[in-house]
Structure 1
Amino acid sequence: MNKILVTGGLGYIGSHTVVALQNAGYEVVIIDDLSNANVDFVDRIASITNVKPSFYEIDLKNQEKVNQFFRENKIDGIIHFAAHKAVGESVEKPLMYYRNNLVGLLNILDGMKDFNTDNIIFSSSCTVYGQADKMPIDENTSLKKPESPYGKTKQMGEEILEDFSNAFNKKVICLRYFNPVGAHSSSKIGELPNGIPNNLIPYVTQTAAGIREYLSVFGGDYPTKDGTAIRDYIDVNDLADAHVLAIARLLENKNKTKLEFFNLGTGTGSTVLEVVHAFENANNIKVNYQIKERRLGDIVEAYANNSLAAQELNWQPKISLTESMLTAWEWQKSI
C-alpha cells in the first residue's frame, strides 16, 4: 500500500482528498499546523472512510520538524496543499504569505531530496494566469504577473518545482484549480474558515444561516452580464478525485514529462450573482447581499479549458453547481 503525505490535509480541499485517497486504497499521513483547520477533522474523515489517518501537527516552516517527520516515515508521494490562500488577505499581509507558502514548500522539497521521495502534486491555482487575454484558459495560456501576493506564491512555487525537478530528477504535477465549492455528501466535512470567509460560498452559507448580516459582493461594475466577476466553480469532490488520478499517474510512471500542468475547472464561467441565485434556488432560501467596492487583487473573469485533464488524467467533473449548493448548505446546517 503506497503511503501518501497530504500537507494541509485537514483543510477544505485536503480533507476531501484524504477521503478520496483512503477510498482508493492509499495509506494517508496528514501534516497540518491547524492555522486554518480543526483537529476534529481527523475523526470526521475516519467516520466517513472507517480508517483513521495518521496526523502530525507540524508547522512546515520548521525545517527540523519536517526532517524528523521524513526520518520517521517512508513516503511514496506527496500532495502539497498547505498554504495561506486568501487573495485579499495576501494583499494586506504579503510577508506572511511569502514566508508561509514558500518556506513551507522549500522544506518539503528538502525532505523529498534528502529522504528519497520522488513524486509530488502541487496545489496550484488559476491565479497564476493573472487576467488572461482570452477565455477559456488552457495550459498554454501565457502566465502573467498575478494580481496578488497569493497568486505570486503559486507562480513562484511552480518555478521552484521546475528547477527542483530538473536538478533532482523528481516527478511533479501542478494542478491549477479554479474555484472549489460544495462539501462531502455525508455533511461530515466541508469548508470551515476561521473568521469572516474570504471565499464566496461559505460567506453565502453563513449569511443564509444568519451568522453574517449580509453577503458582501465585491464589485458590481465589472464588464459582465450583471456587473459581478466571473469564476469557474468546481465541486471539491471532483477536485479530490483529480488528485487521486494525478498521484496514480506519477506512481505508475505514466507522466509524459517530469513536470506537468493541468487545469481543474468545469469549463463554465458563472458570475457571483448567478452563483448566489443558484444557491437560493437550490435551497429555497433568500440571501441578503450588498454590492461593495471591488476587492484589491481580484480579476474580471477566469474559467477553464479542462480538456487536457480529461485526455491525460481521464478526469471529468461530475457534480453540478446545483448539487454543490445543496451540499454546501447541508454542511453549514450541520456545524
Structure 2
Amino acid sequence: MPQTVLVTGGAGFIGSHTCVELLRSGHEVVVLDDHSNSSPEALERVAKIAGRPVAGTHIADVRDRRSLDAVFAHHPIDAVIHFAAKKAVGESVQIPLTYYDINVSGTIALVSAMHDHGVHRLVFSSSCSVYGDATTVPLTEESPTAPTNPYATTKWTCERILADLCRHLPDLRVLALRYFNPAGAHPTGLLGEDPRGVPNNIMPFLTQIAVGRRAELGVFGNDYPTPDGTGVRDYIHVVDVAEGHRAALDHIDDEPGMRVFNLGTGRGASVLELVRAFEEASGRPIPHRVIERRPGDVAELVADPAKVAEAWGWSARRDLAAMCRDAWNFQQHNPYGYVH
C-alpha cells in the first residue's frame, strides 16, 4: 500500500536514488536534508526521473528536534528511511567526536521524534564496516561485529541502541540494512555521486580523474592478504541499494522488533580490479600510485546476501561494469557535479 515516507538525507547519493524508487512505487516522499554533502538540485532531478516531485522538502539538521517535530506535525508520516549521517572511514579517524555527535545523536533525536508522533517503522542505513577486519568471507548477518574505526562504531552503536529500543517499545519495527560499498549512478545520467571537496569514496575519485579534475589515484596499501595486495570490497550498484530500501519498506511489518540484512552482490573486487574496469568503461587511463594504508581500513569485505534473497526475493542485478559505465555517464554529463 502507498505510504508517506520521510527520507532523511534524501538529497544525498543513496537517498536521492531511493526517493526515485519510492516515488515510482506510488509512495509519497518527504525529504529532510541539511545539504552539508548534497545539493537541492538532486531533488529536482529526482522529480524529472520519477515524473513527480517529492511531497515536501525540509532543510534541517537531523539532530534538531524542533525541525523534526515540525516535519512530523506537517506530514502524515507512515515510515522513515534514515540515511542522514557522516560516512567516511578516513575522516572519522580524524574527527571522531563529530561522527559520534551527528550519527548517534542524530539517530536518537530521530527515533525520539518518531516515538512522540506515533511513527513506529524505521529502515536504518547501516554498513558492512561493522564487521571490521573479518577473518572469513563472505560475511553473513551472524558474523562477528568488530568495528575498526569511528564511522563503523557509530553504525554499530546505533544498531545496538535500536535493537534495545525494540525490546522495550513493542510497536517499534526496525530493519537495519548493512550494505557494501555503493557505487555507480542512475542510468539516465541525471543522478550520481557528487561529494563536496575531495571524494572519500573511490568511484567519484576515478570519475574525477577521468574527466580531468584530479591527477591520480592514491591506492591505500598493496600489502593486504588479497590476490593483488589491494583491498577487496563488494561493490554494489546504487540503484540496487535503492531497490533494496524500497523492498525493506514492503517487508517491515513481516516480523516484530529489529532485523538485520546484508545488501551486497556476494562478489568482491580489489582496488586494482576496479581501476581496470573503470578504464575499460571510460576509455581513459587512470594514473595511480600506492601510498600508505589508510587508518581503519581492512583487507576484505564481501557480503553473503542469501538471507535477504530468501526473505524478500531481492538480489543485486547490476555488475561492476554497469557501475563503472553509469558513474562515468553521470560524470560526463555533469563534469562539475550538480553545478549549473
When normalised by structure 2's length, the TM-score is 0.96
Q: CA deviation at 1:308?
A: 0.3
SS at match of 1:267: coil
2:160 aligned with 1:156: no
The equivalent position to 1:123 in structure 2, one of 122, 125, 136, is: 125
Distance 1:29 1:176 in 2: 23
Distance 2:251 2:159 in 1: 19
SS at match of 2:23: helix
What is residue 142 of structure 1 aligned with on the other side? 144
What is residue 75 of structure 1 aligned with on the other side? 77
Distance 2:208 2:282 in 1: 14
Q: Which 4+ stretches in 1 moved above 3 angstroms? A: none
1:46-89 CA distance string (max 9 Å, x none):
11111111211011111121122212222111000000000000
What is residue 268 of structure 1 aligned with on the other side? 267
What is residue 289 of structure 2 aligned with on the other side? 290
Unaligned runs of 5+ in 1: none
Contact conserved, 1:242 with 1:313, CA < 8 A, in 2? no
What is residue 337 of structure 2 aligned with on the other side? none
What is residue 116 of structure 2 aligned with on the other side? 114
What is residue 207 of structure 1 aligned with on the other side? 209
1:212-265 CA distance string (max 9 Å, x none):
111111111112111100000000000100101101112xx223x411100011
What is residue 338 of structure 2 aligned with on the other side? none
What is residue 314 of structure 2 aligned with on the other side? 315
Contact conserved, 1:232 with 1:304, CA < 8 A, in 2? yes
What is residue 298 of structure 2 aligned with on the other side? 299
More displaced stretch, 291-300 vs 161-170:
161-170
Q: RMSD across aligned C-alpha pairs, in angstroms?
A: 0.9
Aligned residue runs from structure 1 range 9-48, under 5 A:
9-48=10-49
1:274-306 CA distance string (max 9 Å, x none):
001011112222111111100001001010000
1:110-131 CA distance string (max 9 Å, x none):
1111111110000000011111
Contact conserved, 2:63 with 2:110, CA < 8 A, in 1? no
When normalised by structure 1's length, the TM-score is 0.97
Aligned residue runs from structure 1 range 48-197, under 5 A:
48-53=49-54, 54-144=56-146, 146-169=147-170, 170-197=172-199
SS at match of 1:153: helix
Distance 2:166 2:12 in 1: 26
Distance 1:42 1:66 in 2: 19
* Letter in structure 2 aligned against 1:159: R
Q: CA deviation at 1:104?
A: 0.9
Distance 2:273 2:151 in 1: 26
Q: Percent identity?
A: 42
